[in-house]
A and B are shown apart, each in its own frame.
Chain A
Amino acid sequence: MAGYLPFDEPNLMTLYKRICKAEFSCPSWFSPGAKEVIKRILDPSPITRISIAELLEDEWFKQGYKPPSFGQDDEDITIDDVDAAFSNSKESLVTEKKAKPESMNAFELISSSNSLENLFEKQAQLVKKETRFTSQRPASEIMSKMEETAKPLGFNVRKDKYKIKMKGDKSGRKGQLSVATEVFEVAPSLHVVELRKTGGDTLEFHKFYKNFSSGLKDVVWNTDGAPEEHKA
């Protein structure tokens, strides 16, 4: 805001001295509200210094302030279509029941559970943000079973062809848990269902998937080791 530091000394000892005495001055163009907040933030005494809670209530601070919202994770290319599918599209000509699920080819299958992302994780990823299961049931049956199972778990369900967007009604650690799923046809009477967390806490997604997949027992053929860690 000022274009320079409040405490700027060539010598570390002198710098610390100034900080402890709160020896700084605000430029003349600062509003009184700004000066007041800064004075309270740069208060050397932690007891009297402004707290985050108080800062959030400060009039000057509140101006134009937008509280953080726990936004959606980056959606990948596959599930990105879900947004397009739910936007204003004029695809009313094809009846939903007749359309077939997207097909998944051999390469997509091979690469679906492989990623270099783990290189960047410092610890074992105990819980993944996405998982998949296979099913030998017809796609429409998979879809209705998923809808049936998600609702009693407290999820709001929006379907579009072979995609479902689910949103939990309870607000968890990082906001509401939201999950996107899509059914793909891999071969006649063999489907792969991908589920991906699109918002909320990953541990909650893991818990949700445990309940969800047990409710889908009749439909699930193989599950991709669940979002739990692989057996070493």
Chain B
Amino acid sequence: MGCFHSKVAREFRGHEDPVKLASETAFSVSEVEALFELFKSISSSVVDDGLINKEEFQLALFKSRKRENIFANRIFDMFDVKRKGVIDFGDFVRSLNVFHPNASLEDKIDFTFRLYDMDCTGYIERQEVKQMLIALLCESEMKLADETIEIILDKTFEDADVNQDGNIDKLEWSDFVNKNPSLLKIMTLPYLRDITTTFPSFVFNSEVDEIAT
């Protein structure tokens, strides 16, 4: 089916092959194609260059260019795997993969650890958590006395920082999450299960055997 192949090739030119991406992630080829529809709309919203920049990411998340928050910035940085300041399609799919309901617990735990380890030292420091907390409270316009914030941090670190060295390391984090599974709530997007219906793609990849998930 010559004309079919060139249609697929044309569609994905300049981007990673959906079949390859599907083989490396929990997504099926049709799901990767559906993600491409989403990617296309986000990456063309400000600059139509096939890449998602910071502004486009914010726009997609908050539906407003002006809003940003420390959490979203961190997520952008993590999706920007190659540190280019932009997210390409491969980065997009691989990063979203961790949020798939079928992704491994280990990957989710690892992602959250790196999320909170803002300066990438390999430890979640108290100061980092304080920063994120203050930023969140600021945004929700909840003012808490510094004393109260310290109390919240004290309690959290008492629970999580087992060796009481003022930092949470990978292992301590892992144990902490296992005791508090709600910490991983943000790491699963049930939307990903219905992605092919939300973003129908008209590139029919009839060559690939689809196993219904």
Interface residues of A (CB under 8 A from B): 74, 76-78, 103, 105-111, 113-121, 123-125, 134, 186-188, 190, 221-222, 224-225, 230, 232
Q: For window 25-70 of chain B, which residues contact chain A by CB distance below 8 Å? A: 38, 42, 60-64, 66-67, 69
Whether the pair B61, A119 counts as a contact (CB closer than 8 A) is yes
Whether the pair A230, B62 counts as a contact (CB closer than 8 A) is yes
Q: Verify if B105 is at the interface (C-beta below 8 Å from A).
A: no
Whether the pair B116, A107 counts as a contact (CB closer than 8 A) is yes
The verdict on A232 contacting B64 (CB below 8 Å), with A119-B38, A225-B140 known, is yes
Whether the pair B66, A110 counts as a contact (CB closer than 8 A) is no
Whether the pair A78, B151 counts as a contact (CB closer than 8 A) is no
- Stretch of B1-9, B10-18, B152-160, B201-209 on the interface side: B152-160
CB 8 Å contact bits of B149-192 with A (1 = contact, 0 = none) = 00111011001100000000000000000001111111001110
Whether the pair A117, B189 counts as a contact (CB closer than 8 A) is yes
For the complex, what is the distance from the CA of A115 to the CA of B136, rounded to whole Å?
13
Contacts of B153 in A (CB 8 A): 106
Whether the pair A78, B182 counts as a contact (CB closer than 8 A) is yes
Contacts of A188 in B (CB 8 A): 151
A-B contact pairs, 29 of them (CB 8 A): A76-B182, A78-B182, A103-B155, A105-B156, A105-B159, A106-B129, A107-B116, A107-B183, A108-B180, A108-B182, A109-B152, A110-B129, A113-B136, A116-B61, A116-B186, A117-B191, A118-B61, A119-B42, A119-B61, A120-B189, A120-B191, A124-B63, A186-B152, A187-B152, A187-B155, A225-B141, A230-B67, A232-B64, A232-B67
- Min CB distance A163 to B, Å, is 14
Q: Which 5 A-B pairs have the closest CB atoms?
A: A124-B63, A232-B64, A106-B156, A105-B156, A222-B142
Contacts of A187 in B (CB 8 A): 148, 151-152, 155
Q: Verify if B89 is at the interface (C-beta below 8 Å from A).
A: no
Tally the A-B contacts, defined by beta carbons under 8 Å. 102
For the complex, what is the distance from the CA of A180 to the CA of B141, rounded to whole Å?
24
Contacts of A116 in B (CB 8 A): 61, 75, 99, 186, 189
Whether the pair A106, B183 counts as a contact (CB closer than 8 A) is no
Q: Verify if B19 is at the interface (C-beta below 8 Å from A).
A: no
Q: Verify if B81 is at the interface (C-beta below 8 Å from A).
A: no
- Min CB distance B198 to A, Å, is 6
Q: Which of B132, B140, B148, B153 has the most CB of A within 10 A?
A: B140
Closest residue of chain B to A225 (Cβ to Cβ) is B140
Closest residue of chain A to B75 (Cβ to Cβ) is A116
B contacts with A: majority SS: helix
Identify which of A111, A120, A125 contacts B183 (C-beta below 8 A). Answer: A111
Contacts of B22 in A (CB 8 A): none
Closest residue of chain B to A116 (Cβ to Cβ) is B189
Identify which of A78, A105, A114, A224 contacts B71 (C-beta below 8 A). Answer: A114
For the complex, what is the distance from the CA of A114 to the CA of B185, rounded to whole Å?
10
Whether the pair B133, A110 counts as a contact (CB closer than 8 A) is yes
Contacts of A113 in B (CB 8 A): 136, 140
For the complex, what is the distance from the CA of A64 to the CA of B147, rounded to whole Å?
63
Contacts of B143 in A (CB 8 A): 222
Identify which of A76, A106, A115, A232 contacts B133 (C-beta below 8 A). Answer: A106
Whether the pair B136, A109 counts as a contact (CB closer than 8 A) is yes
For the complex, what is the distance from the CA of A111 to the CA of B152, rounded to whole Å?
15
Q: Verify if B103 is at the interface (C-beta below 8 Å from A).
A: no
Contacts of B195 in A (CB 8 A): 120
For the complex, what is the distance from the CA of A188 to the CA of B99, rounded to whole Å?
34
Contacts of B183 in A (CB 8 A): 107-108, 111
For the complex, what is the distance from the CA of A110 to the CA of B69, rounded to whole Å?
11
For the complex, what is the distance from the CA of A188 to the CA of B148, rounded to whole Å?
9
Whether the pair B155, A77 counts as a contact (CB closer than 8 A) is no
Closest residue of chain A to B150 (Cβ to Cβ) is A187
Whether the pair A120, B38 counts as a contact (CB closer than 8 A) is yes
Whether the pair B62, A110 counts as a contact (CB closer than 8 A) is no
Closest residue of chain A to B173 (Cβ to Cβ) is A107
Whether the pair B60, A119 counts as a contact (CB closer than 8 A) is yes
Contacts of A76 in B (CB 8 A): 182, 185
